[in-house]
Chain A
Amino acid sequence: MKKSKRRNTERAYEDSGFIRDIISSREGARVLSCIQCGTCSASCPVFEVMDYPPRKIFAMIREGMKDKVLLSVTPWICASCYRCTVNCPAQIKITEVMYELKRICLKEQVISERTDANRFYSIFLNQIIKYGRSHELGLMIKFMMLHHPVNLLQQVPRGVRMMLSGSLSLFPHRIKNAKTLQKITDHALKLQKV
């Protein structure tokens, strides 16, 4: 235990570039203004399932604890409800920082084992890039087949009900210019890796 603690402190100094990366981004510019008041954690509707509540994440970012921050499940649990952002007295765009953290996690391939949100995101985004629109049924089947096959079975009755009521389409809708959209998103991916 002691050994790993020491290693973390050493890393803290090594990774001061991490703070620079975050504060140089538009979203993270105000991270250093955090007064550690805890309003974000108190506002967060999902803090109880996070390993570190948002206030701690900000303290850890400032300490340069890159590995711990990136391995935290917190950004993946964030419901993107903007409640913390609305309430933050230091006007930090907390939700945007959570997006930024997720992008860094994906870029560096450091992702908490306690989440599969990253896989869900990639299925969702690939679907949008392919068709131009999201397709709820396809998304549900693809994600659940791969990761939660038992849950998929439980969803069948609801799915059938929704389909009968016309609120779940069987096939995805492909926009007319889907090919061009694919092409320009490819360009965008080349321009910016995260």
Chain B
Amino acid sequence: MKYLYYPGCSQKSSAISYERSFLAICDVLGIELIELDDWNCCGATIAISVNKMVSFLLAARNLGLANKYNLPLVTPCPSCYVSLNRILKVCKESKSQSDQINTLLAEEDLTFSTDTQVYHSLEFLVHIIGLDTIRERIRNPLRGFKIAPYYGCQLVGSYVNPDNNGNPQSLEELIEVLGAEPVKFPFRTQCCGGSLMFTLSKQAEKLSGMILQSICRTDADLIVTPCGLCQMNLEIAQKKNHGKIPRQRPLPVITFGQMMGLAFDLDSGTIGINKKKILAKQNIISLTN
């Protein structure tokens, strides 16, 4: 099984442990990921706020590069997922827009096709690879663990698979398959404030604090998320103790790749948990031993 891999900028820096764990579990599942050669930033929510054409072009260049391989594309970043699917949707609706972008891309001998499939890594593993394939690889079921599925906002945003809209279930399904119990809490698709980290940092911390507070009211042992930015933001907010988290025990925030890595019994180094300086490191270690 070959797929194209589009990491997105943060998976090469602040969310490097997310990338490592995702690549490691794909390896275990026998999925061959080919990293898109010379990919560029998708423009995130910023390029589109400044110039529409530039933002479309940034996203489309990656699809143009992907076109050469003729394989479906997988990205671990929810924000990249939204940007790439936005351009696909816009160009499916408007041929003139699509032609205009292809004319610009021709400078680099690229053309993109609106038929390219772009999956988010979570959707990809749960719906394309399938829970049965995942189940076969479990070596260390996470029995007894209560896990809070925190999706963040982008995946339920406006360009996703309609069955997911507003009420996603894939994290819950994945948690159950791995032997743990998903915990219910109200803020699972609430924004963590990631995009405001620089421009309105207090507000961003407050949002993350609210999410943490809502999880702390449950008996969750771990928080799992499909977004590198959410992971970082929730960790920072936890450290700063914003939202007056009413609990002594810190809640480790891990990505779903790391969670799967734990269930597949991969070593901590491979799934990048040793990179995380979360206070509750010992909690994770006790899980693997």
Q: Which residues of A contact B (CB under 8 A)?
A: 26, 45-46, 49, 76-77, 79-83, 85-87, 93, 95-96, 99, 102-103, 106, 115-117, 120-122, 124-125, 128-129, 132-137, 139-140, 143-144, 151, 158, 161-162, 165-169, 173, 175-177, 180-181, 183-185, 187-189, 191-194
Q: Are the CB atoms of A81 and B153 closer together than 8 Å?
A: yes
Q: How far is the CB of B29 from chain A (nearest CB, A)?
A: 25
Q: Are the CB atoms of A99 and B57 closer together than 8 Å?
A: no
- A-B pairs with beta carbons under 8 A, tally: 175
Interface: B130 (CB within 8 A)? no
Nearest residue, chain B, Cβ from A143:
B198
Q: How far is the CB of B157 from chain A (nearest CB, A)?
A: 3
Q: Are the CB atoms of A125 and B54 closer together than 8 Å?
A: yes
Q: Are the CB atoms of A167 and B53 closer together than 8 Å?
A: no
5 cross-chain pairs, A with B, having the tightest CB-CB distances, nearest first: A81-B191, A82-B157, A81-B153, A192-B53, A80-B45
- Take A102-B50, A103-B51, A173-B12 as given contacts and tell me if A82 and B156 are in contact as well, using a CB distance cutoff of 8 Å: yes
A interface footprint on B136-157 (CB within 8 Å = 1, 0 otherwise): 0000000000000000011011
Nearest residue, chain A, Cβ from B14:
A167
Q: Are the CB atoms of A188 and B53 closer together than 8 Å?
A: yes
Nearest residue, chain B, Cβ from A188:
B53
Majority SS at the chain B contact face? helix
* Interchain CA distance A189-B51 in the complex, whole Å: 8
Q: Are the CB atoms of B193 and A167 closer together than 8 Å?
A: no
- Take A117-B199, A167-B16 as given contacts and tell me if A128 and B157 are in contact as well, using a CB distance cutoff of 8 Å: no
| Range, interface on chain B | 35 or more
Nearest residue, chain B, Cβ from A48:
B203
Contact of A128 among B40, B154, B196 (CB under 8 A): B40
Interface: B33 (CB within 8 A)? no
Contact of B51 among A177, A181, A194 (CB under 8 A): A194
Interface: B15 (CB within 8 A)? yes
Interface: B200 (CB within 8 A)? yes
Q: How far is the CB of A111 from chain B (nearest CB, A)?
A: 12
Nearest residue, chain A, Cβ from B57:
A188
* Interchain CA distance A72-B129 in the complex, whole Å: 46
Interface: B165 (CB within 8 A)? yes
* Interchain CA distance A134-B199 in the complex, whole Å: 17
Q: Are the CB atoms of A133 and B200 closer together than 8 Å?
A: no
One of B102-110, B115-123, B217-225, B259-267 at the interface: B102-110
* Interchain CA distance A45-B233 in the complex, whole Å: 16
Q: Are the CB atoms of A185 and B198 closer together than 8 Å?
A: no
Q: Are the CB atoms of B54 and A181 closer together than 8 Å?
A: no
Contact of B158 among A76, A77, A82, A161 (CB under 8 A): A82
Interface: B17 (CB within 8 A)? yes
Q: Are the CB atoms of A192 and B52 closer together than 8 Å?
A: yes
* Interchain CA distance A187-B116 in the complex, whole Å: 25
Q: Which of A46, A116, A193 has the most CB of B within 10 A?
A: A46
Nearest residue, chain A, Cβ from B275:
A165
Nearest residue, chain B, Cβ from A194:
B51
Q: Are the CB atoms of A175 and B38 closer together than 8 Å?
A: yes
* Interchain CA distance A103-B49 in the complex, whole Å: 6
Q: Are the CB atoms of B195 and A180 closer together than 8 Å?
A: no
Q: Are the CB atoms of A136 and B13 closer together than 8 Å?
A: yes
Q: Which of B107, B153, B199 has the most CB of A within 10 A?
A: B199
